[in-house]
Structure 1
Amino acid sequence: MRRLLFLFFLVLAVPAWALKPSRVWLATPDSRGLSYQTVALTTPDHAQLVAWVVAPAPNVPDRHTTMVVAYGDFGNMSYELDQAQALAAAGYRVYLFDYRGFGHSADFGIDEQRLYYPEFSLDLGAALADARRRYPHSRTGIIAFSMGTIMGTEVAARTRCDFFVAEGYVASPQRLVAYQLKSRQKVVSLPAAAAAYSQHAPRVRCPWLLIAGTADQHTPLADSVAVARVARRRQRRQVLSFEGGHLQGMPVLSEAAFGDKYVREISRFLAAKS
């Protein structure tokens, strides 16, 4: 069963490296035995988004920590239910949301040859703010994957964020687009805002855990190491590496249950003093 889950996850984890949204949810959290509520939120530019707030598992201590999930360029928030289940099983509250144009959130014209849109950062910022408002006594931060690390970096740089976990960190959208053209002859465009993206990482002040695979050719381990090495005084940054490729962290770092070791490493990082 674990072997089948691993293979299924790898299929879902393959990045499109250009936007491939789906309007159809694969499942809802209750299908995994998760307790949740559906919430609606509005972005500063009045886009209507849909989110799921997954409660910590009832049989484990509540960590009083909310993780807002910024997923990649493919599917919708229902594709993150394996991650949500692993986090909830460790006592975390998980806030899943759909970007505009994804899942059941507002319509948005998407060019599927585009890597990302700046509006997605507004969506993540709105989700983070809503999570903080709903749970004011909870530590609240972002866990981002692949393309979602672009939005995560931008939001963590400009907004109060208690922590930032990033797997498959995109250090340079321009280099990623060039790699796509060279390796796959695939033309992918960038928004004008990408020109200023490199300015955000130095401004991230919250504790930052970067998770990267040794065999990741899309978002290399070296990029995560580089952003950790240039941390300034009081910027706590750490790299967690694993033997594997892009977004294979959870299936690789699994022991008794899917993603259990992966989540333990996150918990260890969050428990450390700055």
Structure 2
Amino acid sequence: MKRCLLLAWLLIQAVGASALKPSKVWIATPDAMGLTYQTVTLTTPDHVQLTSWVVEPAADVPDRHTTLVLAYGDAGNMSQWLHQTQALARSGYRVYLFDYRGFGHSADVALDPQRLYYHEFSNDLRTALNDARRRFPRNRTGIMAFSMGTIMGLEVAATSRCDFFISEGYVASPQRLVADQLQRRQRVVTLPAEAADYARLARRVNCPWLLVAGSADLNTPLADSVAVARVARRRQRRQVLSFEGGHLEGMSVLTNALYGDKYVWEVSRFLAASRE
């Protein structure tokens, strides 16, 4: 089962940020990875039901009293992120996974496969973040976002209470991704109207922000993460964690003894420093 999960995740990485490819079928549940969890049903402000998993820290490690709400990319569903979840849980983090509307076991809504993302996905992430904060009020609660999920992560981190923001494969310009699809693949990809205001959001993120980026990432280049860190104002704490690899290969590359252990160590170091 674990091998199947890893292969499914590698396939998702190979797709990269291109357009929506949701799957309604979970390939596993957290208990298949030895994780303790509960299933939670959420309702968004626009009355859409979402399904989420709250995965507890591993029993044999100290609880860091930190909740990471995971916003994944444009394909699959939350079940394909259990390896990352396991790496975080065994280091003492609580992980809050959820499926966007139209993905996994969340409400079955019509999604255009030529759309890069829907602005409503931000409502889904915000709903999950608010529920995580309500359930664990004494925890630090923030967002860990990947690829297309960084678009929603940026929107929510800029407009909601968020204790930290971790992004890998940060999308600096949805418009540039769309233009790249047309140029490289002769494929038309559309954007929601709200994308016109996206470029203004980064300056509004005031919580600590760790930008994880691969030196060989062609979809979301390392230079974009470096640029948004460099323009941070005095009180905006931002840091870039670079690795030698491609799009969303961070945990695979930053591994020593166990999958993603060095990656999670770097995350822990950043979160600890951001308290100072």
TM-score, normalization: structure 2? Answer: 0.96
Structure 1 residue aligned with 2:13: 13
Q: 2: distance between equivalents of 1:161 and 1:44?
A: 19
State the 4+ residue runs in structure 1 displaced beyond 4 angstroms.
2-8
Residue 46 of structure 1: aligned partner: 47
Indicate the residue corresponding to 2:128 in structure 1: 127
SS of aligned partner of 2:141: strand
Query: Do 1:9 and 1:251's aligned partners in 2 also have CA atoms closer than 8 Å?
Result: no
Report the Cα offset of residue 43 of structure 1.
0.6
Task: Give how far 1:8 is off.
Answer: 5.5
Aligned equivalents of 1:68, 1:265: Cα separation in 2: 18
Q: Which residue of 2 aligns with 1:140?
A: 141
In 2: Cα distance, 1:8 partner to 1:95 partner: 20
TM-aligned CA deviation for residue 175 of structure 1: 0.4
Q: What residue ranges of structure 2 are gaps of 5+ in the alignment?
A: none
Aligned mates of 2:185, 2:258 — CA distance in 1: 35
1:55-204 equivalences in 2 (<5 Å): 55-204=56-205
For residue 66 of structure 1, give the secondary structure of its aligned residue in structure 2: strand
SS where residue 115 of structure 2 aligns?
coil
Q: 1:254 and 1:240, CA in 2 relative to 1: closer, same or farther beyond 3 A?
A: same
CA distance in 2, matches of 1:233, 1:245: 31
1:12 deviates by: 2.7
Greater displacement, 227-236 / 9-18: 9-18
Is the 2:41–2:49 contact (alpha carbons within 8 Å) kept by the matching residues of 1? Answer: yes
Report the alpha carbon displacement of residue 108 of structure 1 after superposing the two structures with TM.
Answer: 1.3
SS class of match (2:38): strand
Secondary structure, aligned partner of 1:45: coil
Counterparts of 1:31 and 1:182 in 2: how far apart (Å)? Answer: 41
Cα distance 1:254–1:9, how it changes in 2: closer, same or farther (>3 A)? farther
Decide whether the 8 Å contact of 2:17 with 2:148 is kept in 1.
no
- CA positional deviation for 1:50: 0.4
Take 1:7 and 1:53, find their aligned partners in 2: how far apart are those partners?
23
Distance 2:169 2:109 in 1: 26
> Who is 1:261 aligned against?
262
Question: 1:249 corresponds to which letter in structure 2?
Answer: G
Contact 1:206–1:236 (Cα < 8 Å) also in 2: yes
Give the deviation of 1:10 after TM superposition.
Answer: 2.5
In 2, Cα distance between equivalents of 1:52 and 1:38: 5
Task: Tell me the distance in 1 between the aligned counterparts of 2:214 and 2:104.
Answer: 28
Shift of 1:11: 2.0
Query: What CA distance in whole angstroms lies between the structure 2 residues aligned with 1:201 and 1:257?
Result: 33
CA RMSD of aligned residues (A): 1.5
Unaligned ranges ≥5, structure 1: none
Partner Cα distance (2:271, 2:62) in 1: 15
